Amino acid sequence: MPVVRIVLLLLFLAVITPGIGAGICNYIKEYKRNVAFHFLAGFLAEWALFQLIAVPAIVMGATLTGLSIVYGILLVLCFIAGSAVKAADRKKTPALKVVREPFSKGEKRLWAIALAGILIQLVLAVVMAFEDGDDAFYVTTSNLSVTWDSMYRLLPYNFGSTSLDFRHCLAPFPIWIAFLSKLSGIHPAVFSHTLMPLILLPLAYCIYGLLGYRLLGKNRKKLPAFLIFAEVLILWGNVSAYTAETFLISRTRQGKALLCAVVVPAMFLLLHILAERLLYDKKAEKSLWLLLTMAVFSAGLGSTMGDFLSPFLLGVFGLCLLFMTKKWKPLLPLFFCMVPGLCYMVLYAVVK
């Protein structure tokens, strides 16, 4: 039975996630065959879906088991839809072999250093995991959800019954970890400290690589050097307990790490792509707007602060876009992308 559960976790991470992402990316010409972007799109879709159904489920007093069943069924349906879209596209347009310039010896060395740096960080994040003060709340919340099959109905500090913790239930990232823990059969504390870095760190570097590739003028040869530079900043970024680098390496089990180290960079990546499309192509694919909306949902999953920061970031982008294009039309879909964050923000203000 434990082996079956581990296999289910691997299927979730390595098959279902990129499968969902591939269906979304099928309509983005530049990223139809980009596996890193498929993983990013898949995770954003999974987080957005979880945020969308978890908050109402928690408010209605549903159990973790019930939420997990509904979420699992919806994920499978999304995977089937994504796979069907990809299969239909392959029938219409047979895949052509992409001819790429081979790596030079210098590039190979730089890539080896970059990959070694990521591997070192993964090892350090696992073997040097430590207890953080916030773990008393977040990790314990995941543990209580699995143990008692309830969500935000018990106090993490003394396990006593309490009314609904509405502030934290709007950002149910610990419940997502509890779902993965329940799926795999691994204790929530072990999963949080050991496996979460192995999931989020590689994803974060995929985002940094995709963003760096665009910032460097799509020059592939400069990308490994960019990643090495990013690794140096992250490895020596622990100048405070509150930096994004610290959250990424040592506090990946907390939603704040998801927000600052993964979702916000992903939003910058999506906004960079949208800006290029709207400024030069005059039109952006609908899938890009969908991904941006999912990123706003994902920001809320990580932290209630994300419900404020994501609309603010999109608003600043909209003002810059208006200044450069002198057109109001792109602001309409941008506003609709903000709506989830604005709704959660208003809900938080009213209930609090």
pLDDT tens digits for range 68-81? 999 999 999 999 99
Give Dmax (Cα) for the chain. Answer: 62
Strand, coil or helix: 25: helix
C-alpha to C-alpha distance for 132 and 249, rounded to whole angstroms: 12
User: Which residues are CB-contacts of 228 (< 8 A; sequence separation ≥ 6)?
Assistant: 110, 113, 114, 117
Q: How far is CA 139 from the centre of its chain?
A: 19
Would you say 287 and 320 are in contact if contact means Cβ atoms under 8 Å apart?
Answer: no
What pLDDT score does 95 carry? 54
Phi and psi at residue 134, to the nearest 5°: -70, -15
What pLDDT score does 349 carry? 85
Query: How far are the Cα atoms of 37, 98, 199, 315, 328 from residue 22, in angstroms, in the given order?
Result: 8, 18, 19, 29, 31
C-alpha to C-alpha distance for 158 and 108, rounded to whole angstroms: 54
C-alpha to C-alpha distance for 246 and 260, rounded to whole angstroms: 10
pLDDT over 70 for what percent of the chain? 95
- Residue in 83, 6, 72, 5 with CA at minimum distance from that of residue 38: 83
Identify the sign of the CA torsion 17, 20, 22, 25. Answer: negative
Would you say 179 and 71 are in contact if contact means Cβ atoms under 8 Å apart?
Answer: yes
- Write down the pTM of the prediction: 0.94
- Residue in 282, 281, 278 with CA at minimum distance from that of residue 292: 278
pLDDT tens digits for range 125-184? 888 877 777 888 899 999 999 999 989 888 887 766 667 777 788 999 999 999 999 999
Tell me which residues of the chain have a pLDDT lower than 50: none
What pLDDT score does 96 carry? 53
Strand, coil or helix: 176: helix
Would you say 147 and 263 are in contact if contact means Cβ atoms under 8 Å apart?
Answer: no
